[in-house]
Amino acid sequence: MSLSSPSPAQIEAIERATIATVAHDCFEVIGPWILGLRPGSIGRAQSAAPLAHTLVRDEGLLARIEAAYRAKGMSPVFRLPDVEGLASVAEALTQRGYVPQQPTLVMTADLDLVARFAEPAGATLLETPDEDWAAVFLGEGFDPQDGAHRVAVLSKSPGAVFAAVRDAEGTHAVGAMSLAEGWASLHGMRTRRARRGEGLAGQVVACLARAALAKGATQIFLQVEEGNAPARALYARAGFTPLWRYQYWRCV
């Protein structure tokens, strides 16, 4: 897997945009780290990420981050990219009892290309998600508790727009796009189990990309678990390529 080389400005903007979407009113910045402090089922919302990919080992700083989470009654989690510039931080976390889990890719694409990826024939743009949009998160094959939490968080994300593919039989695919730090970011992609493989997710992606262009965005990113092969295949077809890979470091 070939990874791009993001600039320091891109790295910081993407991490800040991520938190703006999933923990916009529950975060803290400690030195070169941004901490998502929103409890729930969204890993990005409750983990600490570095704002740069070249940091030296600093035990005191790691202790401050741990203390910030424990003060909120939360377990410390570090969302650490697998890059050489953070190798000493990874070593320190290992010695503190943390284990890397859940490898995830940060991917980016040309926004104009994504907007042309598919004809959003059945996709409807929503300024506010409705009950039918939310219901897809609670459907067969999805964790209802996780789904309800994601709906609540994404519905309150500042600058977000939403899309759904629906017809007379109901709503079948949904997604959200958040705009922050000069970036559009894709979140909450869900398709009902019975309608997968029909290209509906691609229609949602294209619809949201067009909305982001209309609002003046020029760049787009998303985050997808490395093991989610169907989603990765969709995003690759839409033109997304990996920027970096991160893992959640948790004490087990």
Instruction: Report the alpha-carbon distance of residue 189 to residue 164 in Å, rounded.
Output: 10
> Do 123 and 206 sit in the same domain of this protein?
yes
pLDDT in tens, 145-188: 999 999 999 999 988 999 999 998 999 999 999 999 999 999 99
The H or E element that residue 38 is part of is: none
The verdict on residue 125 lying in a domain is yes
The full DSSP string for 130-157 is -HHHHHHTTSTTS-HHHHHHHHHHHHT-
As a whole-number percent, the residues of the chain with pLDDT over 70 amount to 98
The verdict on residue 43 lying in a domain is yes
> Do 130 and 239 sit in the same domain of this protein?
yes
Give the domain CATH number at 169.
Answer: 3.40.630.30
State phi, psi for 123 to the nearest 5 degrees: -90, 135
> Do 67 and 163 sit in the same domain of this protein?
no
> Do 89 and 163 sit in the same domain of this protein?
no
> Do 92 and 125 sit in the same domain of this protein?
no
Domain extent for 52: 8-104+246-251
Residue type, 39: P
> Do 191 and 86 sit in the same domain of this protein?
no
Domain count, the chain: 2
Q: Token pair for residue 158?
A: 């500042």
The verdict on residue 1 lying in a domain is no
Given a contact cutoff of 8 angstroms between Cβ atoms, the answer to whether 183 and 217 are in contact is yes
pLDDT in tens, 67-96: 999 999 999 999 999 999 999 999 999 999
Q: How confident is the model at residue 4 (pLDDT cuts 50, 70, 90)?
A: low
As a whole-number percent, the residues of the chain with pLDDT over 90 amount to 90
Of 58, 56, 60, 17, nearest to 36 by C-alpha is 17
The H or E element that residue 181 is part of is: none
The verdict on residue 3 lying in a domain is no
